């Protein structure tokens, strides 16, 4: 182009000298103090050029300085950093004694300690025992929540499950399990994360899960065991289950409200230890194995009943939530995603219908329709419920990235997942301590007049205040167990 004179470009020309004349408008960057109109000249192999020149970029020129511009790659703004679970009262209203020790065959719902992270079409990293791991989507990764690499859909479900567990242990609502079967949800999330983790060597994965779970359990158990010893507890050899809870840890009546929730940890450990074998079997025939996982609980109900001891109660819990664990496998392996919506919806409704019918039809037999007391109803209702939740995640690629727009809510979800084991283990103690604390409020006339001291909702609130105090005080143990730098809040 010309601006008073024609601008010439030469490439591969050597020995050119004496170029004169007016030059067109030259564009340049980064040059200071140069006057006059200059054009940007690009050439290779040119020497001795005179006149006003702009910034020149070239290669292969001798005796001339070159310029190299690089662009730093910006980090993904959406990186993410478990899995606890909510206690349920299993044992279905039954307890058993062993050499003077008091045992509860089951308890109520809570954490999924798989502190393992989660994501379906989003990626998650390994979390607390049940907290979640990165997931690979069928068609391209889904957006992740800001500041985390975790699946916010899984994280949100886990947080809701924890709140529901604390509410259940405060109010004792029989209908709570029908609205949101926390234990089934937690086992399904844990199963999905476990399947993802088993892409690595199985032994390494099992050791990692146990490492994340046991130190927080030992720390909590030290205080509970010492308190029970002070209150006349005489343990036998069964105290070994306070080291590795593959069976229900023993205790006395005084401390039952604290230790009865440990059925979940025991069941979780059973699934972790069995997962390498379960996953191999599942992969041979995914759908048949998933459907057959409903059979054991029916066998226990109608053909053979497990004995009323540690092994029997553990076997019952394992059968109750086996389908939920395997549907987590189905989600992670892409089995659910390949199914048609109509098939999944009809099958899930059938499972829900049978579970609900069984609970109400046998209400007289069990004295309640609470799913936590009726293993068969719990199995089928949870199976239908979690199948819909996991299919919704797999088929529609939901990731709840929108949580990042609500910073406070997003932060709460992060804390719940980073301290899931802490919340699960310590929430019952918080509720126990709330009672004498509220009793002290009665001694203050203003509190007695203006505060709803008789309301369970008030105790629920005080319980959560104590839980939030416990999180920074003892939650750092989860960081130590995960080989992370201890933090007051995750």
**Closest by CA position to 272, among listed 221, 181, 197, 372:** 197
Assign 276 a pLDDT band (cuts: 50, 70, 90): very high
Q: Residue-wise over 110-149: b if at least 16 C-beta within 10 A, else e?
A: bbbbbbbbbbbbbbbbbbbbbbbbbbebeeebbebbbbbb
* Dist CA 335 CA 184 (whole Å): 19
Would you say residue 81 has pLDDT above 50?
no
Residues 42 and 54 sit within 8 Å (Cβ to Cβ): no
- Choice between 18 and 363, residue whose per-residue pLDDT is larger: 363
Q: Which DSSP string corresponds to 112-144?
A: --EEEE--SSS-----STBEE-----TTSPPP-
pLDDT value of residue 150: 80
Mean pLDDT over residues 204-218, rounded?
95
* Dist CA 322 CA 66 (whole Å): 67
pLDDT value of residue 23: 37
Q: Which DSSP string corresponds to 49-115?
A: --S-------SS-SS--------PPPPPS-------EEE---STT-EEEETTEEEES---EEE--EE
- Choice between 382 and 109, residue whose per-residue pLDDT is larger: 382
pLDDT value of residue 399: 87
pLDDT above 70 covers what percent of the chain?
Answer: 70
Mean pLDDT over residues 184-202, rounded?
96
pLDDT digits (tens, 9 = 90+) for 6-17: 333 333 333 333
Phi then psi for residue 65, to 5 deg, are -75, 150
- 441, two tokens: 């409020």
Across the chain, what does the average pLDDT equal? 78
Mean pLDDT over residues 374-397, rounded?
96
Give the C-alpha distances (Å, rounded to integers) separating 90 from 94, 188, 270, 378: 8, 18, 16, 10
Q: Which helix (H) or strand (E) holds 162?
A: helix 152-171
pLDDT value of residue 145: 38
pLDDT value of residue 149: 62
pLDDT value of residue 174: 96
Q: CA angle, 243 as apex, 275 and 265 as ends, to 5°?
A: 45
Mean pLDDT over residues 196-214, rounded?
95
Least confident of 102-111, 209-218, 242-251, 331-340: 102-111
pLDDT value of residue 130: 52
Would you say residue 66 has pLDDT above 70?
no
Mean pLDDT over residues 267-283, rounded?
97
pLDDT digits (tens, 9 = 90+) for 398-434: 889 899 999 999 999 999 999 999 999 999 999 999 9
* Dist CA 455 CA 452 (whole Å): 5
pLDDT above 90 covers what percent of the chain?
Answer: 67
- Choice between 42 and 419, residue whose per-residue pLDDT is larger: 419
Mean pLDDT over residues 170-179, rounded?
96
pLDDT value of residue 56: 37
Residues 456 and 251 sit within 8 Å (Cβ to Cβ): no
* Dist CA 164 CA 183 (whole Å): 10
Q: CA angle, 410 as apex, 408 and 416 as ends, to 5°?
A: 105
């Amino acid at each position: 182009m010309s601006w008073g004179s024609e601008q010439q470009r030469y490439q591969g020309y050597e020995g050119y000298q004496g170029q004169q004349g007016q030059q067109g408008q030259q564009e340049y960057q980064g040059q200071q103090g140069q006057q006059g109109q200059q054009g940007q000249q690009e050439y290779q192999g040119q020497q001795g050029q005179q006149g006003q020149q702009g910034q020149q970029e070239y290669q292969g020129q001798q005796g001339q300085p070159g310029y190299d511009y690089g662009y730093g790659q910006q980090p993904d703004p959406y990186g993410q950093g478990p899995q606890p679970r909510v206690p349920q009262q299993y044992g279905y209203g039954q307890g058993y004694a062993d050499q003077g020790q008091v045992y509860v065959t089951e308890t109520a719902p809570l954490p999924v300690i798989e502190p393992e992270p989660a994501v379906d079409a989003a990626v998650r990293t390994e979390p607390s025992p049940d907290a979640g791991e990165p997931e690979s989507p069928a068609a391209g990764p889904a957006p992740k929540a800001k500041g985390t690499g975790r699946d916010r859909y899984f994280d949100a479900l886990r947080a809701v499950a924890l709140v529901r567990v604390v509410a259940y242990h405060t109010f004792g609502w029989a209908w709570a399990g029908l609205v949101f079967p926390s234990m089934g949800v937690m086992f399904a999330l844990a199963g999905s994360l476990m399947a993802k983790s088993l892409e690595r060597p199985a032994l390494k994965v099992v050791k990692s899960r146990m490492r994340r779970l046991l130190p927080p359990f030992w720390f909590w158990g030290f205080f509970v065991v010492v308190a029970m010893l002070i209150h006349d507890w005489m343990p036998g050899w069964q105290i070994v289950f306070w080291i590795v809870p593959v069976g229900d840890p023993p205790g006395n009546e005084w401390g039952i409200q604290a230790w009865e929730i440990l059925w979940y940890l025991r069941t979780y450990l059973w699934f972790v230890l069995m997962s390498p074998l379960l996953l191999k079997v599942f992969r041979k025939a995914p759908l048949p194995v998933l459907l057959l996982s409903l059979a054991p609980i029916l066998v226990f109900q109608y053909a053979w009943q497990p004995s009323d001891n540690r092994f029997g109660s553990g076997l019952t819990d394992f059968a109750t939530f086996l389908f939920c664990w395997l549907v987590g496998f189905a989600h992670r392996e892409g089995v659910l995603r390949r199914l048609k919506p109509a098939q999944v919806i009809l099958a899930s409704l059938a499972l829900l219908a049978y579970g609900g019918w069984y609970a109400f039809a046998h209400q007289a037999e069990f004295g309640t329709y609470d799913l936590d007391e009726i293993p068969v109803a719990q199995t089928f209702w949870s199976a239908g419920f979690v199948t819909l939740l996991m299919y919704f995640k797999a088929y529609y690629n939901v990731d709840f990235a929108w949580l990042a727009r609500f910073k406070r809510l997003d932060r709460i979800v992060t804390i719940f997942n980073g301290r899931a084991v802490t919340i699960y283990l310590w929430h019952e103690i918080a509720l126990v301590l709330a009672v004498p604390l509220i009793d002290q409020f009665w001694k203050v006339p203003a509190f007695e007049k203006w505060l709803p001291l008789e309301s369970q909702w008030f105790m629920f609130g005080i319980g959560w205040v104590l839980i939030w105090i416990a999180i920074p005080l003892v939650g750092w143990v989860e960081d130590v167990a995960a080989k992370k730098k201890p933090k007051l809040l995750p």
